[in-house]
Amino acid sequence: MSAGLLDQLIEALRVLPGVGQKSAQRMAYHLLERQRDGGRRLAAVLAAAMERIGHCPRCRDFSEDALCATCASPARDVHLLCVVETPADRLAIEQATGYRGLYFVLQGRLSPLDGLGPRELGLDLLARRLQEGKVRELIIATNPTVEGEATAHYLAQLARQHGVRPTRLAHGVPLGGELEYVDRGTLSHAFGSRSEMQE
């Protein structure tokens, strides 16, 4: 016997990250009780997004056009290429910094246990971009996890093979943070990566 529409809606909502049975139930009831128009709009936009949003062939970010807006922009600095794990990481950098270079989105990080190797991350495409000779600096902005660090080392080697200078985002004590509240791993990494103060 197949589940009713309400049960199917609740189960469908559970595909979202952090949404369990109770949260999915609350969302379903809210849409049905108070937001039917919003629910219809959500369904239409979601269907269109699933159909039309793909990946930019140059940087692998999400795009509904042949080339994403960043890659298509003549105002971006083609000599700088920032490698991030996810589109959300790219957006965070774009919103928080004045970075005007280009991006390459891995859509993950090296994780052999999960079947994510260089090929799945598009590193063959990245190597071709580096081989073009335009990129002078590869900014490695992977997360400071075990897999992120392994990915960073792989990317640095790839950059050096193509005569490109690899740089890594600084990690450590957050601005405004107090040392006694920083976790041991972060503090140890920050202490080991200390740099000379400029005048």
Q: What is the mean pLDDT of each run of 10 residues along the chain (199 residues)?
A: 84 94 95 94 96 96 95 96 95 90 95 87 95 96 89 95 92 75 77 70
Q: Are 83 and 52 in contact (CB under 8 A)?
A: no
- From residue 135, alpha-carbon distances to 54, 101, 103, 118, 140 in Å are 25, 10, 11, 20, 13
Predicted confidence at residue 117, as pLDDT, reads: 87
Predicted confidence at residue 102, as pLDDT, reads: 97
Parse the chain into domains and list their residue ranges: 62-168, 172-199
Predicted confidence at residue 33, as pLDDT, reads: 95
Q: Which two tokens stand for residue 40?
A: 């219809």
Predicted confidence at residue 75, as pLDDT, reads: 96
Predicted confidence at residue 145, as pLDDT, reads: 85
In the chain, which ranges are E strands? 54-55, 62-63, 77-84, 101-105, 137-141, 165-168
Residue 158's SS3 state is helix
Strand partners, 84: 105, 141
CATH class label, 62-168: alpha beta
Predicted confidence at residue 198, as pLDDT, reads: 67
Predicted confidence at residue 144, as pLDDT, reads: 84
What whole-number distance in Å separates Cα of residue 141 and Cα of residue 85?
Answer: 8
Q: Is the pTM of this model over 0.85?
A: no
Predicted confidence at residue 178, as pLDDT, reads: 76
Q: Which two tokens stand for residue 181?
A: 């509240």
